[in-house]
Amino acid sequence: MAACGPPTHPDEKGKMIMGKKSTERLMTLPELAEMLGVPIETLYGWRHRGEGPVGYRIGRHVRYRRAAVEQWLETQADRRDKMGW
């Protein structure tokens, strides 16, 4: 009989990582749209083009970790002040 270990799942780069125990509730598309102030259709477009925050497909649904969204959001900061604009 095979040994049972902690569940694994792919990270953003497709590598397998150990499952994380978390009580964090995943965000839905409408919740994320409200948080970012953008239409849900924009989120679908970003997801299709690979431009938005990392999402997780759970059956037919897409969910987002708040920490991943906030990390992605930091990469979207307007850097014009540092560029001399």
**pLDDT tens digit sequence for 15-73:** 444 455 567 899 999 999 999 999 999 999 999 999 999 999 999 999 999 999 999 99
Could you tell me if residue 5 is inside a domain? no
What integer pLDDT is reported at residue 18 of this predicted model? Answer: 46
Taking the whole predicted model, whether its pTM rises above 0.85 is answered as no
When pLDDT is cut at 50, 70 and 90, the band that residue 7 belongs to is: low
Q: Pick the more confident residue, 12 or 40.
A: 40
Could you tell me if residue 7 is inside a domain? no
How many whole angstroms separate alpha carbon 29 and alpha carbon 44?
Answer: 9
What integer pLDDT is reported at residue 45 of this predicted model? Answer: 96
Could you tell me if residue 83 is inside a domain? no
Q: Tell me the torsion sign for CA atoms 8, 13, 15, 17.
A: negative
**Is 83's pLDDT higher than 90?**
no
Could you tell me if residue 52 is inside a domain? yes
Supply the range of the domain harboring residue 48. 26-77
The number of folded domains in the chain is: 1
Could you tell me if residue 1 is inside a domain? no
